[in-house]
Amino acid sequence: MKTNRANPLRPLIEFKQVTRVYGSKQAAVWALAGIDLQIYRGDFVAIMGPSGSGKSTCMNILGCLDRPTTGSYLFHGLEVGALSRDQQALLRRHYLGFVFQGFNLLNRTSALENVELPLIYRRISAKERRRRSQWALELVGLRGWERHTPSELSGGQQQRVAIARAMVTNPLVLLADEPTGNLDTARSQQIMELLCTLNRERGLTIVMVTHEPDIAAYAQRIIRFRDGLIEADGH
């Protein structure tokens, strides 16, 4: 693997003419119609746009959960499309943290165990897993809720468990799809302030999808999608 960590001018994430097409020839849907994009370390990026504009597809490709149909995705100078499934999994394991739109927590599994999950695959001892997970839950203000299962938690609490799970591995990039989608204003503000703190103090790179302008306002940079293309990109 060839990486280029030393060069600060090199983007952490780079899309070159990325397309993603669903379906076959006649019924083809161009979710992404050729996108160029650079994201640098420490960026806090909000992606906006109407539904069906390609935001989530873009996030899935960013998170190595999906592959571009054509074009190239460089992560740290590394061609992601050329990686095997297992290599992509390792990339997700070590560098990426996810907050999904639907939380995607394991049912009947306590908050603590949900947060521990990524650490299991990092071969971290049970004791250390527990310590780190407790730290992450504290970070999102869920101390005392460790033993509760998702069905016993409110939507906002589930969202925060999902953030804790994404943060527990101390990733390079946090990818969040509508992290405040199900929350009231006060909770949304709390979460956004948390993300800002993480961005500011830990240099965490954040890419976040949202359709609320006041949430997007927390980011330093806003990218607007329309019909699978970038409509605007600015600060």
Residues within the interface to other proteins (CB under 8 A): 60, 63, 65-66, 85-86, 89-90, 92-94, 96, 98, 100, 104-109, 113, 117-118, 120-122, 126, 165, 169
Residues whose CB is less than 8 angstroms from the CB of residue 45 and which lie 6 or more positions away in sequence, other chains included: 39, 206, 207, 208, 219, 220, 221, 222, 223
Shortest spacing between CB 92 and other proteins, in angstroms: 4
Span between the terminal Cα atoms of the chain, in Å? 33
Shortest spacing between CB 168 and other proteins, in angstroms: 10
Half-sphere exposure of 158 (CA within 13 A, CB side): 20
| Residue 38 or 109 having the CB closest to other proteins | 109
| Residue 100 or 218 having the CB closest to other proteins | 100
| Residue 106 or 232 having the CB closest to other proteins | 106
Residues whose CB is less than 8 angstroms from the CB of residue 157 and which lie 6 or more positions away in sequence, other chains included: 111, 142, 145, 148
Shortest spacing between CB 223 and other proteins, in angstroms: 21
| Residue 85 or 235 having the CB closest to other proteins | 85
Q: Token pair for residue 38? A: 């650079």
Shortest spacing between CB 56 and other proteins, in angstroms: 9
| Distance separating alpha carbons of residues 152 and 143, to the nearest angstrom | 15
How far CA 207 is from CA of 12, 118, 149, in Å, comes to 12, 20, 28
* Closest C-alpha among 34, 44, 23 to residue 201: 44
Beta-sheet strand order (sheet of 70-75): 29-39, 13-22, 70-75, 78-79
Shortest spacing between CB 7 and other proteins, in angstroms: 26
| Residue 75 or 218 having the CB closest to other proteins | 75
